[in-house]
Structure 1
Amino acid sequence: MAAPCNEAPLVVHLIYRLDFGGLENLMVERINRMPADAYRHAVVCLTGYTDFSKKITRPGVDLYSLGKKSGLSLGTHAALWKLLRKLKPAVLHSYNLSAIEYAPAALLAGVPVRVNGAHGRDAADPQGRNRKHNFLRRMMVPFYDCCYANSADMLEWNRTIIGVPAHKSRLLANGIDSDKFRPAAGDRSDAFFAAGCIVIGTVGRIQDVKDHATLVDAFVQLLDRMPEQRAQLRLAIVGDGPLLEKLRARVAAAGIADQVWLPGSRTDIADILRGLDIFAMSSIAEGTPGSALEAMASGLPVVGTRVGGIPEVIADGVTGLLVPASDPAAMAQALERYARSPAMAREHGAAGRERVQRHYNMNAMVAGYQSMYDTLCERKTSFRKNIKSCVES
């Protein structure tokens, strides 16, 4: 089932939906940046994809949609099996719980290496306590060669709660392009916001797990806490998702529509970040948050919730401030500290960029994933001589 010796092995990335999001963005970055002579790539979407797919700039990356319906959808397993038999990949790389159940189909299709990544948990189960979901995760472990995590918090949960053995466990931290995401040269860009504004912003898919409602409530409280600067305060929530219209209605009902920017999905995130003063993350569950790393690389202080991998990224009181999840008052208080002290905001922002450059390097992330593929392919050659191409370059 391996690629011919004159062709790089194929990695099939199996994802629920290819749309605006941190997981999706970093997956695309890895595909674009991994050496072409190391691996080829294809992306299979269980449900579908949007124009976000155009961010894949590497030539020769095929995109497939299985049109999965809600529920068990046994036909999707059969469709994937059929597609994998046709593509003959060396590696199936599935992402999160939504794609974890398809490893048996890959095994039956003859895919020699199977990998699942834990990049975060759902809003309905932020602590990972859902017995049904965890039972499925445990049932799938034997079908995978590696179940990695992108944060130490998720790695420990994988090992202790799901029971992923050490030889199948690996930590692969996110990486950020600190050349693309960089501080504004001189004064902050005023391309998006009027001069003199104090702009708080966030970037991410508008869905339950991000809890943007808490951020909006915190901003309302911040306006009350800073009446003398109320006219200068702005909130930017950038991203698309199923709750966007509901969030717009919440903003309108609060009477703050003229101070909140909700543009939907954007492709100029690096430029937008250079127009912010403070970055905020109100998530109730996270892996390693790529959006926070992008903000830090852009020289912004980050106010984030104390959940999942966020405390691993944000050094409290050094690069940002940590607050409890679903606590608008605590978030408003933290945002006020930065709004009232631009000097502290700049100091923490500079420390955040240095932290990203030291610990969350994009090249290191890409190399880490390539090393995982290499190691697993080489290990499987002792049983499958026909995937020798995985370790030859």
Structure 2
Amino acid sequence: MAAIASSAHACQPPLVVHLIYRLDIGGLETLLVDAINRMPAERYRHAVVCLTDYTEFAARITRPGVELFALHKLPGAAPRTHLDLWYLLRRLRPAILHTYNLGTIEYATTALLAGVPVRVHAEHGRDAGDPQGLNRKHNLLRRLVAPCIDRIVPVSRDLHAWLRDAVGIAERRLCLIDNGVDTERFRPALPGESGAEAWHDDPHAFVIGSVGRLQDVKDQATLVDAFALLCRMLPQEPLRLVLVGDGPLRASLAAQVAANGLQDRVWLAGARADVAPVMRGFSLFALSSIAEGTPVTLLEAMASGLPVVSTAVGGIPDLVADGANGALVPPSNPQALAQALAAYVRDRALAQAHGAAGRARVERQYSMQAMLEAYLALYDGLLHSKNKVNEAITPCAE
């Protein structure tokens, strides 16, 4: 077990321990880091516990005094991890344990046994192997653990309905909180602001960008197939495709690009820490996922003033109004995806109009401040209802 950056104060606000499977580049992880960095320091302290490990991505936590732990969980049930977490929680004595997604939900029982007053669990999406969330074993686990959890937070209306209707979680345990995005960091490009990336080799190029881990659930293979079709449909257009991210499918995607002879038009850009300026160099954002909650990268793209072409899965239809700020297509359908992309390539004014509409929608409903206020209200309300705040706070020295 490892820990960094501890802090001690004579009088401390309540501690929230965030339990995540692994702290690495990803939408959920970005949300977690942004929330920790931006939540008022006088309201809550934070610690992050990783069931497995963390990467250099953890350096994005810039708020002082945040402790970071890795439990190095082994594959499988790993009962020792429950014991390690129990001892850690007994030492830290948090007011709240906040768990994220299926991989961490069972540890709400450990928190209950360790005396953590409030347990919150968030569902940010479903697995690629179970895009509809119908796995009986997984849903049984969710139902069995639910009595140990004070609130379950779905981040989209689709996830809310699924947890209630398919999983069988009582409505009183659910609290919908929309994901939020930093609308100052993610903004449209200013006049004359252009990128200097390799894919900006032609000032007239239409750059289709996508950001996400290269894995099955994101299905970038369908996007590459759609781009190949698009190039054949519009042979005179200077088209570019940029896939930002890394993951287990990188080699197979590179082979797919080569097989289609697109090496001079497609860039596998790898993981990037500067996603905001990279997005400002895109003409359009594309997402080909087969399952999603409320994808953070989609919100970031909309905040950046980009039109969106996406699969109509999970909570995406809550964000993308087809024909207003983007286009929705069925998953795993390269032909439909290519046709939707072609409409924006042919009509650049439409692309700009839909991009502006997406930015306006994010400002109205999906700001970072609105998300933070919702979580603060949830934490405050649960702690107040338990009437155990004083047990979780180090008393002030008199």
TM-score by length of 1: 0.95
1:21 maps to a residue whose letter is G
**Identity percentage of aligned residues:** 57
- Give the aligned partner of residue 20 of structure 2: 15
Of 321-330 and 63-72, more deviation after overlay is shown by: 63-72
Instruction: Give the CA deviation at 1:4.
Output: 9.0
1:179: which partner in 2? 184
* Maintained 8 Å contact 2:119/2:150: yes
Cα deviation digits, residues 299-336 of structure 1 (max 9, x gap): 10000111110000001000000000110100000001
- 1:373 maps to 2:379: yes
Task: Give, in whole Å, the separation in 1 of the partners of 2:377 and 2:330.
Answer: 36
- Where does residue 309 of structure 1 map in the other structure? 315
Matches within 5 A, 1:1-393: 6-187=11-192, 189-192=194-197, 193-194=200-201, 195-229=203-237, 232-381=238-387, 384=388, 386-387=390-391, 389=393
Identify if the C-alpha distance between structure 1 residues 348 and 148 changes in structure 2 by more than 3 Å, giving closer, same or farther: same
CA contact (8 A) 2:383 2:389 kept: no
User: Which secondary structure does the structure 2 equivalent of 1:59 belong to?
Assistant: coil
Question: Is the CA contact 1:304–1:323 (under 8 Å) kept in the aligned structure 2?
Answer: yes
CA RMSD between the two structures? 1.6
Q: Determine the C-alpha separation between the residues in 1 that align with 2:389 and 2:230.
A: 63
Post-superposition CA distance 1:257-283 (Å, at most 9, x none)? 221111211111110011000100101
Answer yes or no: is the 8 Å Cα contact 1:122–1:285 preserved in 2: yes
Cα distance change on mapping 1:385 and 1:9 into 2, 3 Å: closer
CA distance in 1, matches of 2:39, 2:319: 24
Q: Is the 8 A contact 1:188 1:276 kept in 2?
A: no
Q: Which amino acid aligns with 2:299?
A: L
- Alpha-carbon distance in 1 for matches of 2:350, 2:389: 59
**Cα contact 2:206–2:345 (8 A) shared by 1:** yes
Per-residue deviation, 1:22? 0.7
Instruction: Show CA shifts across 1:194-245 (max 9, x none).
Output: 222110001111111111111111111111111112xx11101101222223
How many residues in Structure 1 have an aligned counterpart in Structure 2? 385
Q: CA deviation at 1:246?
A: 2.5
Q: Report deviation, 1:290.
A: 1.1
User: Could you say what secondary structure the match of 1:49 adopts?
Assistant: coil
Q: Which runs of 5+ in 2 are unaligned?
A: 1-7
Distance in 2, Cα, partners of 1:268 & 1:4: 34
Decide whether the 8 Å contact of 1:378 with 1:388 is kept in 2. no
> Contact conserved, 1:20 with 1:240, CA < 8 A, in 2?
no
Q: Secondary structure at the match of 1:68?
A: coil
Shift of 1:149: 0.4
The offset of 1:254, in angstroms, is 2.3
Q: SS state of the match for residue 182, structure 1?
A: coil
CA–CA separation in structure 2 for the residues paired with 1:144 and 1:317: 40
Q: Which residue of 1 aligns with 2:4?
A: none
Q: Quick check: 2:124–2:154 contact (8 Å CA) kept in 1?
A: yes
CA distance in 2, matches of 1:385, 1:267: 38
> What SS does the aligned partner of 2:267 have?
strand
